[in-house]
Amino acid sequence: MIREFLQSDVTPSSFLLPITLQFMRNFVLLLIATVGSFTLMYGQDFLSVNDPIVINNTCVQFQNNAGGNQHTSAWVDQAIVFNDIATPTLIVRDFEIYLGNTGEFSQGLALVIQQEGTTAIGENGGALGYGGTTGGISPSLAFEIDTEHQAHDNAGGSDHLALHDNAGFNQAALAGGPVILPDMMDNSFHQLTLRINWDPTTPANQYVEVELDGTYRITYNTELANYFDLSLPVYIGGTSAPVGTNPNYARASQGIPGSVGTCSSFSLPVEFLDFEAQFQSPNKVKLDWSTASEVNSDFFEVERTQDLTLWQKVGKVQSAGNSSTLKSYSFKDPVSFNGRYYYRLKQVDLDGAYSYSETVSIDVETLPMEVYPNPASDMLYVSTQYLSDSYNKLRLDILDMQGKVYQRLSVSPSADKAVEIPISELRPGIYTVRLSGGVNEVWTKRFMVN
């Protein structure tokens, strides 16, 4: 277990925040704090959840909130165990944040102090402790920067800073909040400083505090034992819920704005203007995107997911390389299942460095095959009416969940008659109908046998 403590008479270092994609990755960062007559030097691990975008290994861009419930988050995977800190200590962390440059709907950002529990740290918005400590949710203190312009927290619909315990954002704010803020979606980088004052000798001196841009502040005087088991790890992290177009993204990095490694200390090699998805019958999703400028760009990889966890590379498009004018690109992705699809672009530079676009989503509900009844028992019907004008013959397979083929038929599409398939000999379970019209034209649907 790695533990961090900064003595109150030590100037806090600026930290870098590399976040992994879908898994934890070690990034050794030497932190130096003078304690007595010796220097502590140690590495850090970092953890991200549901794949925030990583820029230059130091800046996090939170994914679009298409999945709901603030599904991406970033956590410093470094424990603070208060009972292991024997002397009065001020723990300080500086963050740089960017909340967008448009009035489009966005929920802002939450900076959270959370106990590790049965729910993964930062698993989604719910894992921030929302609703209390029941159901495996961990205790937390959450500082919310709200840009949603909703009238909760008694803020009257204004941007505001508020503190909530157990992330009960719809409950009354603590510590006399909320504090009314100016427009935070102002195309500017802001400094967010978290302070935790730990005093094991005089618990009445303990407090947590967040300060925004050195002006807006909430200080909550409370004994930390009121919220956390002081013998167990406590983590610092956060979540955000950008919604809408690319300018509406939210970013965060550790350190004072403009310091090395923060989001504002570099420019992106590719400036995206838009990224859109639309369905094209019978079974393709067409992706279109454009860039305003490119510097040493090599190519784009198109990635797709249906669960916002496992991303699959589905294509590659060469980029312009260097350009200061509008460039447009497109890609068509064959899809096999009805449902919601998510797409993103991995932009790769000539030197191998990469960054990600925003995520776009599309609902597909019109694949050219109907399977009924579902569940089925004796007879299954497969309608191919939407393909009757395009194909003379199709191959139809019935497969189990392990991919074993139980039946294989050659069928002729019909506009008015479904294919009848006896299934009484199939064991109860889940199966797949696979209809093939060619090498790249495959449609699938699952059904259940009672």
Query: What is d(CA 146, CA 157) in angstroms, rounded to the nearest whole number?
Result: 9
| Cis geometry, peptide bond prior to residue 375 (ω within 30 degrees of 0) | yes
User: What is the DSSP-derived secondary structure letter of residue 262?
Assistant: S
Q: How many CA atoms lie within 13 A of 5 on its CB side?
A: 18
Which residues partner with 246 through β-bridges? none
Give residue 366's pLDDT: 63
Opening angle at CA 150, ends 145 and 153, nearest 5: 65
| Cis geometry, peptide bond prior to residue 203 (ω within 30 degrees of 0) | no
Residues in the chain: 450
Structure tokens that stand for 5 in this block: 């403590």
Q: Which of 293, 266, 274, 268 is nearest to 355 (CA)?
A: 268
* CA Rg value for the chain: 26
Q: Which of 189, 207, 187, 188 is nearest to 197 (CA)?
A: 207
Query: What is d(CA 127, CA 133) in angstroms, rounded to the nearest whole number?
Result: 10
Helix count and strand count (H, E) for the chain: 0, 32
Give residue 6's pLDDT: 35
pLDDT in tens, the chain (450 residues): 223 333 333 332 222 232 222 222 222 222 222 222 222 222 334 455 555 666 666 788 776 665 555 667 777 767 789 999 999 999 998 999 988 777 665 678 888 888 866 555 555 555 555 444 444 456 889 898 988 655 556 666 688 899 988 766 667 788 888 899 988 888 789 999 999 999 999 999 999 999 999 999 999 999 999 999 999 888 888 887 766 555 567 888 888 998 888 888 876 678 787 889 998 866 789 999 998 778 889 999 999 988 777 889 999 999 998 887 889 999 999 887 777 899 999 888 887 777 778 788 888 876 677 889 989 989 999 988 767 666 778 889 999 888 889 999 988 888 788 899 999 989 998 899 988 876 567 778 889 998
- The phi and psi torsions of 202 (rounded to 5 degrees) equal -135, 85
Give residue 332's pLDDT: 94
DSSP 91-102: EEEEEEEE--SS
DSSP 72-137: -EEEEEEEE-GGG--S-EEEEEEEEEE--SS-S-EEEEEEEEEE--SSPTTSSGGGGTTT-S-TTP
Inter-CA distances, 388 with 162, 279, 416, Å: 60, 20, 9
Give residue 15's pLDDT: 28
Give residue 445's pLDDT: 82
Contacts of 328 (CB under 8 A, 6+ apart): 288, 289, 290
Contacts of 138 (CB under 8 A, 6+ apart): 114, 115, 116, 117, 118, 119, 121, 127, 129
User: What is the DSSP-derived secondary structure letter of residue 256?
Assistant: S
Query: What is d(CA 133, CA 362) in angstroms, rounded to the nearest whole number?
Result: 35
Structure tokens that stand for 159 in this block: 């941007």
pLDDT digits (tens, 9 = 90+) for 215-229: 999 999 999 999 999
Give residue 131's pLDDT: 43
Cα dihedral sign for 349, 353, 357, 359?
A: positive
- Say whether 403 sits in a helix, a strand or coil: coil
Q: Which contacts (CB < 8 Å, 24+ apart) does range 208-217 have?
A: 208/113, 208/141, 208/163, 210/111, 210/143, 210/161, 210/163, 212/145, 212/161, 212/181, 216/161, 216/179, 216/181, 217/179
